Amino acid sequence: MTSKPSPPAAVLAGGGIALLALTLGLIQSSGFFSTEGVTGYRLPDHPVLMKNGYDWWWHNLVAVSRKDGSLRPFFIEYYVVNPKLAQSEPVFGKNGTNKPSYALLTAGSWGKDACKINNFYPISQFSADRNRMEVKIGDDNFANDTILYGAVSLSQEAAVAHPEYFSDAGFMSWSLHAEKVLSFNPGYGVSKGLRNLALFQMFWHVKGMRTRYSGTIMYNGEVFDVLPDKSYGYQDKNWGTEYTNPWIWLSTNKLVSRKTGEELQHSSLDCGGGNPVVAGIPLGVKLLVAFYYEGTLYEYNFSKLSAFVFPTITVTETEVKWHIVAYNFHSKIVLDFSAPKDTMIKIRYESPADGLIKHKNLWNTGYAKGTIELYKRTLFGWDAVDTLDGDMGGAEYGEY
């Protein structure tokens, strides 16, 4: 028997590369890596999420007091957990007694008299669009990409009588328009294929990294005006089956260049991360850093092997500090921010899996302040591009 000669290794390699390219092309054309519709309601992507998952749309912004002209940061969140476990009334976790199932509208402010007001609704009073950001909770609370309105209120008596609400007493209403100026897409982690497989424990997407809000807010009897150029707004969404631990977030849109002395209108900083868990495997502490400098994006994404990010978070008796260094082949960024604890609140979420509030010290603020140093790589090292002063930033840190 005469055997056929084996093809040269180069031919085999070429064929393998061609096959790989064809496979990736087919995957790409199938929409596996598409991020279209990511801002919509994501729990229906996988049956597991409907019974063991949460989804939320978060907004924070700055408003001007009509009384004295001072700036004050506010937040609004539209949230839902375990919709397939719905009952006629909200089901509270109660420290692990139940798997929670409810819609939650929460809003409030940071500062010396900070408060976070939670209003709970049964799932029957929640609706959301899968293909775009459009969510409604109750009869009069709505948000999409351009409009937000609603109100939360809770009496002191109800807050004391119902610890399962884990809420402060107070009142806040809002009527706002939004214009999303800058966005950040974390990449394949929020692609259609990975979303449908529900491989990540916690997903994150930032449609409104810099958002111009306008309108009015009423907060505990005081009126605030929201002005587009002074709103320094931010909007993102998270969804998944559990909350990351540790939990790291830092963002600011109130930025002044030390090079020009001017406040920058097309710049934005956003950092987010923790210990991502993929298919049940923890990856260790990882962080995504995105920085727009007058329209140019500098990205430091741990999923790209060319980027390296080193976060150091310090919690003292009086403040929380974020020190982050990130670099890639082309640029480097150094972040130093802090916020006093007496302006912060502790965010609490019930775990979809068991109803426990695991993050008991999840520090959250709208008063982060600090500096951003940006450098570009040259043949001889790093050349400074600019140093920026950041203020009125959103930030968060917690670990258990």
Q: State the Cα–Cα distance between residues 174 and 140, nearest whole angstrom.
A: 11
Based on its alpha-carbon atoms, the radius of gyration of the chain, rounded to whole angstroms, reads 23
Secondary structure letter of residue 398 according to DSSP: E
Please say if the pLDDT value at position 168 is more than 70.
yes
> What's this model's pTM, rounded to 2 decimal places?
0.90
Banded model confidence at residue 27, pLDDT cuts 50, 70, 90: very low
Q: What is the mean pLDDT of residues 356-384?
A: 98
Whether the predicted pLDDT of 371 surpasses 80: yes
Q: How far is 342 from 111, CA to CA, in rounded Å?
A: 7
Residue 61 has what pLDDT? Answer: 99
pLDDT at 315 over 70: yes
pLDDT for residue 230 is more than 90: yes
Q: Which helix (H) or strand (E) holds 19?
A: helix 9-29
pLDDT at 19 over 80: no
Spell out the domain ranges in the chain. Answer: 37-398
Distance separating alpha carbons of residues 253 and 391, to the nearest angstrom: 8
Confidence band of 13 (pLDDT split at 50, 70, 90): very low
What is the pLDDT at residue 8? Answer: 41
If one compares 312 and 188, the residue with the highest pLDDT of the two is 312
What is residue 130's three-state secondary structure?
Answer: coil
* Weakest mean pLDDT among 180-189, 228-237, 363-372, 384-393: 180-189
Stated as kind and residue range, the H or E segment containing 112 is none
Alpha carbons 65 and 256: distance in angstroms, whole number: 22
In angstroms, the CA 32 to CA 199 distance is: 14
Map residue 123 onto helix, strand or coil.
helix
pLDDT value at residue 303: 79
Instruction: Work out the pLDDT band at 195, boundaries 50, 70, 90.
Output: confident
Mean pLDDT of 247-274: 98
Distance CA 182, CA 251 (A): 13
Q: What is the dihedral of CA 91, 96, 97, 102, to 10 degrees?
A: 0
Is residue 184's pLDDT more than 70?
Answer: yes
**CB neighbourhood size of 311 (10 A):** 21
Q: What's the token pair of residue 305?
A: 């092997």
For 118, the enclosing helix (H) or strand (E) is strand 115-121
Instruction: State yes or no: pLDDT of 32 exceeds 70.
Output: no
Q: How confident is the model at residue 7 (pLDDT cuts 50, 70, 90)?
A: very low
The answer, yes or no, to whether the previous bond of 83 is cis (omega within 30 of 0) is no
Please report which confidence band the pLDDT of residue 10 belongs to, taking 50, 70 and 90 as the band edges: very low
pLDDT surpassing 50 at residue 296: yes
